Structure 1
Amino acid sequence: MLAFAVSGCAGNQSALDPQGAPAIHVEHLIIGIVAVCTLVWILVMAMLGVALLRGRRRAAQAPAASEKSITMAVGAAVAATVVTIAALTVASYYTTRGIGVPAPAAVTITVKGQQWWWQVFYAASGTDPGFETANEIHIPVGRDVRLELQSQDVIHSFWVPSLAGKQDLVPGRTNILLLRAEKPGVYRGQCAEFCGLQHSHMAVLVVAEAPEAYERWAAGQRQDAMPSSDTEALAGREAFLAKPCAACHTIRGTSASGKTGPDLTHVGGRRTIAAGLLDTTRGSLAAWIADPQTLKPGSNMPTVPMSSVELRAISAYMKSLK
């Protein structure tokens, strides 16, 4: 029996635990709106109580005096409503300006939403070529990161609460989002717009690390897949290239150049597979390859017939790709 682990990768996912400037601006707006709404509720309840207590006394007053009092109360309530809405609108406007993307961002990343995973492209920098990964975004701590958000199919929404607010991915256009982390960590995000059957299984991890560690990671990602010296992994490489797997996935350094599924060049070094569904262990890889439709029904990953020997070999090969 194949053993696999449901992903338990730690990661902050709370808009009230901000770890970057954009998320801090959003938190301040949230707290401000909640405070204003709480104050309004308290005032309304207080006025209701006063009205109930003074009901009998008002009934004995002259109709003209009662009508004048009501008119003044309604006028004051309307004025207070206009001022409150205007204040919240101005606060929202300045929050939006505060999380705008500066022109000279340190890193530019294109994120494409797919059903149901995240395709991630890192732009070339100087003489360094760009590269592709999936479902896991690495960023340098203390640097502005520009995300260019696109969709391949339906509307998605990119949301990493601890680092930024939500931003939609709309087919046919590119939306921009600023990410910035002030301390190292793993920040969990997800699609926040219902996008189909496996919407709830479309997570993304943002790994914030020191600039030096980020540069080392990026340099490794630019490299082709390194051939393993393990006999079983080598057999898995040959089986992978002989199966339909190579028609859907790319592994740089091999003849596999498919564009339908995620780039697997360094899949063994990622924390999760299947957009956060499973931790990246050999057992999870084998379970996913053997029967993806049971684990994630409706996904575009087909079940490829193979023997148990081929399955073990391919899972060993996938785990070796780091």
Structure 2
Amino acid sequence: MRLRAVFIPILGMAAATETCSAAPLQDALHAYGIQAWHIGRLWNFTLGLCVLVFSAVVAAFLFALWRAPRSDAQTPPDLSSLERPERRIHRTVAWAAGLATLGLLALLAADVFTSRALGRLPLQDAVNIELIGHQWWWEARYLDPDANRQFTTANELHIPVGRPVIVTLRSDDVIHTLWVPNLHGKRDMIPGRTATMQFRADQPGTYRGQCAEFCGLEHAMMALLVEAEPNAQYEAWAERQRQPAPALDAGPAGDAARRGRALFLAHSCARCHTINGTGATAAMGPDLTHLAGRKTIAAGMLPNDTKHLASWIRDPQTLKPGVYMPVNRMRPDELQDLLAYLETLK
């Protein structure tokens, strides 16, 4: 028992190390979208004003120390201010209060102008996504007036560069907060309420999002990758996501994958996950229809490769304690068959 108490924190540190390699670090200092640029400009203005105020306070403090009369233990107290008003000090305090008020009004005005700028993003030809926070993963539903063009994925958003994106935010359990600092600010996701975030990526790249509201034991391991790509590349990706799971090779090369699919459907996997085109239609866990096409697993915690996927299937509770996915006890040959099937889901 004592060994387990030592071993689990070590695994947690190893998992944190893996997270850095699986998902890029957040970067709040570089804006790659117009909304993030507006927020960054407000931050720079606020920082500059606060630095100015701090410098003025420190300068006034040092000046007061320099001008203060020197004394020692034998010097009698100066009580002259009790008999005559200190008009100079009163004027100084009044000026300081006035300047502080002007500074606060400037911050208020900057905040109002930034909020108005954020609300003026053109939304023609927008991509509509419903993003649902779960403990501890993200469910993304790409919406379309034509129900046949809608699809669901998990823990990754793909968006076209230069087109606005409207993300409707919901929580399935506790309070979460979405934060993709390169593209926008934070937005709370409160159970029973709906919020909206609108942004546009102006440069292609991979941007990290993160739950920014403590939501339980694995809060820190709840990342979201946002892939901004040219419109043609995005449309090709979206078309692939609308398709059911790929057909398996009919020859001997597909034997292991077919055994893995049978195992998936017969095992507890199908009770929690969906794979379109099969009998697995549960919605408790992430949609796995195109799992092999994602960069990470476990909400950005691990790279999506055979080694880490096998570790995750065998014992997710060791890698991410408290996650709802149970330990899966299966023979090594069964695990290899299941991996062979999951790797076809591209």
TM-score (norm 1): 0.94
- Which residue matches 1:315? 339
Aligned to 2:179: 159
- RMSD over aligned Cα, in angstroms? 2.0
Structure 2 residue aligned with 1:83, among 97, 102, 105? 102
SS of 2:201's equivalent? coil
In structure 2, C-alpha distance between the alignment counterparts of 1:106 and 1:255, rounded to whole Å:
33
How has the CA–CA distance of structure 1 residues 221 and 66 changed in structure 2, closer, same or farther, with 3 Å as cutoff? same
Instruction: Please name the residue that 1:184 is paired with.
Output: 204
Count of aligned pairs: 318
Q: Given the alignment of the two structures, is residue 39 of structure 1 paired with residue 52 of structure 2, yes or no?
A: yes
Aligned residue among 11, 20, 29 for 2:42:
29
Instruction: Indicate the SS of the match to 1:161.
Output: coil
Contact 1:134 1:263 in 2 (8 A): yes
CA distance in 2, matches of 1:207, 1:95: 26
Per the alignment, residue 33 of structure 2 pairs with 20
Task: State how far apart, in whole Å, the 1-side matches of 2:24 and 2:162 are.
Answer: 18
- The 3-state SS of whatever aligns with 2:248 is coil
The CA deviation at 1:177 is 0.7
2:241 to 195, 198, 221: 221
How far off is 1:310 after superposition?
1.1
Q: Which amino acid aligns with 2:302?
A: L
Give the structure 1 partner of residue 12 of structure 2: none
Counterparts of 2:297 and 2:37 in 1: how far apart (Å)?
30
Name the SS for the 1:179 alignment partner. strand
Is 1:249 equivalent to 2:262 in the alignment? no
| SS class of match (1:56) | coil
Within 1, Cα distance between the matches of 2:62 and 2:78?
19
Matches of 1:207 and 1:160, distance apart in 2: 11
Q: Which of 184, 200, 211 in structure 1 is aligned with 2:231?
A: 211
Asked if 1:259 corresponds to 2:283, the answer is yes
Bigger Rg, structure 1 or 2: 2
Conserved 8 A contact 2:211-2:223: yes
Shift of 1:247: 1.0
Which of 284, 302, 320 is the aligned partner of 2:326? 302
Match for residue 292 of structure 1? 316
Q: Which whole-Å CA distance do the structure 1 matches of 2:133 and 2:321 have between them?
A: 18
What does the per-residue CA deviation read over 1:211-255, in whole Å, with 9 as the maximum and x for residues that have no partner?
A: 000000000000000122122111111100010110110000000
Cα deviation per residue 1:11-54 (whole Å; 9 max; x = unaligned)? 36212111000110111111111100000011111111111112
C-alpha displacement at 1:66, in angstroms?
Answer: 6.5
Cross-structure match for 1:231: 255
Which of 145, 168, 188 aligns to 2:188? It is: 168
How many angstroms does 1:6 deviate by? 2.7
In the alignment, residue 24 of structure 1 is paired with which amino acid? Answer: W
Q: Distance in 1 between matches of 2:191 and 2:332?
A: 40
| Percent sequence identity over aligned pairs | 46
| Structure 2 portions without partners, runs of 5+ | 1-14, 71-76
AA aligned opposite 1:106: A
Distance 2:187 2:244 in 1: 32
Gaps of 5+ in 1: none
Q: Separation in 2 of the partners of 1:126 and 1:253?
A: 19
How far did 1:182 drift?
0.8
Structure 2: distance between partners of 1:10 and 1:143: 24
